[in-house]
Structures are given as C-alpha cells and as structure tokens.
C-alpha cells in the first residue's frame, strides 16, 4: 500500500535525521494532498526548522502562526484562518505542529501580567480570564491534541480533511506524530457508517411490522453517509399517508417505538451541539454526526436537553426534531410512551 502524504513526510524527516540532507517528499506523487495548511508557534527557531522537518518545498506549505500554536475554540479567529487556508488557498490536509521548549507553555499568569505591565498594559486592561483568552497551557503535547480536537469538531472544516498533530523537537528536529488524522478520519467514518446502518436496519424492521397497513413493499436501500435524514423523512411520509386512512390509526404506537431515535430529523451532520447528560454535566460541542451515532446507540434519547452552538436556548431532542420536520408526525405518534426518559 502506497504511503499517504504525512507518512511520507515522517519517513523523509527520519532520513534527514539520519544524515540524508537531500531526503524530501516527492511532491509529484502527492498532488491530491497538497498544499498542506500548517499551524505553528511564532518562535523564530521554527523559521528554518519547519520546512526542513516537513521535507516539503515552502510553496507547498500554507503556513499559519500564532503564539503557542493555540486554538481556543471551534469558531476562533485561528479557525477562521484555517478554514480560509482550505477554502481559498486549497489546503487539502491540516497539521498542528507544536514544539518543545515552548515559552508560552512555561509562562505563569503572574509572569505574563508583569511582562504586560512593563509594556505599559495594566492588569485591569487585560481580559478577566487570561488562560482562556491567551490560551496559556502547561503541556505542549496536550495543547496540540486539544487544538486538533477543536479543528476536527469545527463546522468550518470539511469532514473529509485529515487533521494531524505533531510535536517537533527544537534541538534535534525530530518529528513526533501525536494525532494521526488518517486514523481519526477512518474511525469517525466507520462509526458514523455503523450508526447509519443500525438506524436503517431498525427502520426496516419497523416498516416490516406495518403489514396491517397494507403499505406494500417498502425497500430501504443501503444508506450512504448523509442520506439518513432524507431516507427517514421519506419513510415517515409514507407511514403518515397510510396511517391517516387506516381505521386503527390511533392505536399502533408500538409500531413506531423507536422512530424518534432512528430518524433524528432535526440534526445536521456538520452542526455542533451541546447536550446535558444524566449526570447533569454539559457535553460538547459535538458534531451532529456524533450525536446521530449516540441516538442510534440510545445513549441520547428524546428527552435529552440539547443546544445548538451559537444559541442560548435549550430544547429536548424531541422538540428539535419536531421543529425541523417538514411534515407533521403521524397521529399515532402523539403522546407516544417512548418519549419517557429512559436514562
């Protein structure tokens, strides 16, 4: 199996460490993965080190820098730059590259405020939460992994863009791969595909039990990622049409026992959400794809409180689905016993 871009970068970097000064990535073999968007610290020691360590021509690197290679959130200003690096400059893969001996990771809030004071900036002029605003951190490795998590969960970054995390040794140039974006992407795709297939299987089973409705044969095709909501709404519409004319339309509640979990009509794959768990702790933001998976696994149910990122309103998953639905629910779903909190 041919090496992927950052596998080739790591291999060439290791050869350089072993003394091969000419070791480099054959860029003509990786045109589909170049250029790469790279976020590093502003430390001047990286000026020559990064192009050498990545074994890439400088024109193949979209180089972004900030103090400490920090990303503070999924919609931060750095995320804006990364998004534009991909959308405008054509970045195909993203790498967050931290480095050893990072001064941002060593500075305390007291040292920082003293340094700012020497520049004429008094403490009262600074944000109240210095750690949150400036992104001060204690672990260089954890900082890189946190940044990768923000990028991967950001609605601004395409779901098929690999997001890698590295730590470079400023003394030796050794590159350590902390977050393998290929593995993460494959794992997320596999988990989401599994959740989609589980939902489709449950929906097929539910439709099979509707023979009394004489709906005819309803075939659920092998569902592709992103098609779950469309397929589900089509099936629900069919059920609605038949239920409206059926003499026992108000009784077959058991037949749609798992509709709310399976369909997830109000959830968008790329949107970010927060939820409140049974332990009353807030989780997220998480992408809609992950939330759909949790629905399929029944880790989240219709009564779970949910908040769309950017909104201050908390609703239940059930309310979110009803608000987003383009059709009215069948009469037999009203007051359904399944909407009892199962947590």
CATH of the domain at 175: 3.40.1050.10
In this structure, the answer to whether residues 209 and 85 fall within a common structural domain is no
In this structure, the answer to whether residues 204 and 141 fall within a common structural domain is no
In this structure, the answer to whether residues 250 and 152 fall within a common structural domain is no
In this structure, the answer to whether residues 195 and 169 fall within a common structural domain is no
Alpha helices in the chain (DSSP H): 5-17, 46-54, 77-87, 109-118, 130-134, 140-153, 181-208, 228-245, 259-263, 288-296, 317-324
Full domain range(s) for residue 58: 5-179
In this structure, the answer to whether residues 225 and 121 fall within a common structural domain is no
Identify the domain boundary among 127, 147, 179.
179
Tell me what pLDDT residue 221 has: 39
In this structure, the answer to whether residues 142 and 210 fall within a common structural domain is no
Tell me what pLDDT residue 237 has: 52
pLDDT, average across residues 62-82: 95
Give per-residue pLDDT as tens, 101-127.
Answer: 998 888 888 888 999 999 999 999 998
For residue 324, name the pLDDT band (cuts at 50, 70, 90).
low
In this structure, the answer to whether residues 148 and 212 fall within a common structural domain is no
For residue 215, name the pLDDT band (cuts at 50, 70, 90).
very low
* Two structure tokens written together for 21: 């000064």
% of residues, the chain, pLDDT over 70: 71
98 DSSP β-pair partners = 167
User: Pick the residue with more confidence: 215 or 48?
Assistant: 48
In this structure, the answer to whether residues 43 and 141 fall within a common structural domain is yes
User: Pick the residue with more confidence: 76 or 198?
Assistant: 76
In this structure, the answer to whether residues 224 and 321 fall within a common structural domain is yes
Contact 126, 144 (CB under 8 A): no
Identify the domain boundary among 137, 152, 179.
179
Tell me what pLDDT residue 258 has: 44
Q: Considering the entire predicted model, what is its pTM?
A: 0.56
Longest dimension (CA), the chain: 82
For residue 224, name the pLDDT band (cuts at 50, 70, 90).
very low
Residue with tokens 């003509």: 28
In this structure, the answer to whether residues 208 and 271 fall within a common structural domain is yes
Give per-residue pLDDT as tens, 25-38.
Answer: 999 999 999 999 99
Question: In 10 A of CB 240, how many CB atoms?
Answer: 17
Q: At what angle do helices 77-87 and 140-153 cross, to 10 degrees?
A: 60
Tell me what pLDDT residue 250 has: 44
Using DSSP's 3-state secondary structure scheme, residue 105 falls into helix
In this structure, the answer to whether residues 235 and 126 fall within a common structural domain is no
Identify the domain boundary among 159, 179, 199.
179
In this structure, the answer to whether residues 155 and 95 fall within a common structural domain is yes
CATH of the domain at 244: 3.30.1490.40
Using DSSP's 3-state secondary structure scheme, residue 63 falls into strand
272 DSSP β-pair partners = 287
What mean pLDDT value characterizes the chain?
78
pLDDT, average across residues 308-328: 75
For residue 203, name the pLDDT band (cuts at 50, 70, 90).
low
User: Looking at the 3D structure of the chain, how many domains does it have?
Assistant: 2
Residue 261 has pLDDT above 80, yes or no: no
% of residues, the chain, pLDDT over 90: 46
């Amino acid at each position: 199996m041919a090496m992927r871009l950052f596998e080739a970068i790591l291999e060439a970097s290791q050869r350089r460490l072993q003394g091969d000064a000419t070791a480099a990535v054959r860029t003509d073999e990786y045109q589909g993965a170049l250029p790469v968007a790279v976020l590093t610290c502003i430390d001047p020691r990286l000026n020559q080190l990064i192009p050498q360590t990545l074994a890439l021509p400088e024109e193949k690197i979209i180089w972004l820098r900030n103090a400490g290679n920090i990303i503070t959130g999924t919609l931060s200003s750095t995320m804006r730059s990364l998004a534009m690096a991909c959308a405008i400059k054509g970045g195909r893969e993203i790498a967050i590259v931290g480095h050893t001996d990072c001064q941002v990771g060593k500075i305390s809030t007291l040292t920082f405020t003293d340094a700012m004071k020497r520049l004429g900036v008094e403490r009262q002029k600074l944000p109240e939460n210095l750690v949150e605003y400036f992104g001060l951190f204690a672990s260089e490795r954890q900082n890189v992994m946190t940044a990768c998590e923000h990028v991967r969960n950001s609605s601004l970054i395409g779901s098929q863009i690999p997001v890698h995390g590295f730590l470079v040794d400023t003394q030796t140039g050794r590159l350590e791969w902390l977050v393998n974006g290929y593995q993460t992407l494959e794992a997320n795709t596999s988990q989401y595909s599994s959740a989609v297939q589980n939902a489709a299987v449950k929906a097929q089973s539910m439709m099979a039990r509707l023979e009394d409705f004489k709906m005819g044969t309803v075939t659920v095709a092998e569902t592709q990622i992103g098609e779950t909501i469309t397929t589900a709404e089509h099936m629900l519409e069919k059920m609605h049409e038949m239920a409206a004319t059926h003499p026992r339309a108000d009784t077959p509640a058991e037949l749609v026992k798992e509709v709310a979990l399976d369909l997830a009509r109000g959830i968008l794959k790329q949107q970010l959400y927060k939820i409140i768990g049974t332990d009353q702790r807030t989780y997220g933001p998480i992408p809609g794809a992950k939330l759909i998976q949790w629905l399929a696994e029944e880790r989240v149910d219709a009564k779970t409180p949910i908040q769309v990122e950017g909104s201050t309103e908390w609703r239940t998953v059930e309310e979110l689905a009803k608000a987003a639905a383009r059709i009215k629910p069948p009469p037999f779903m009203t007051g359904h016993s399944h909407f009892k909190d199962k947590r």
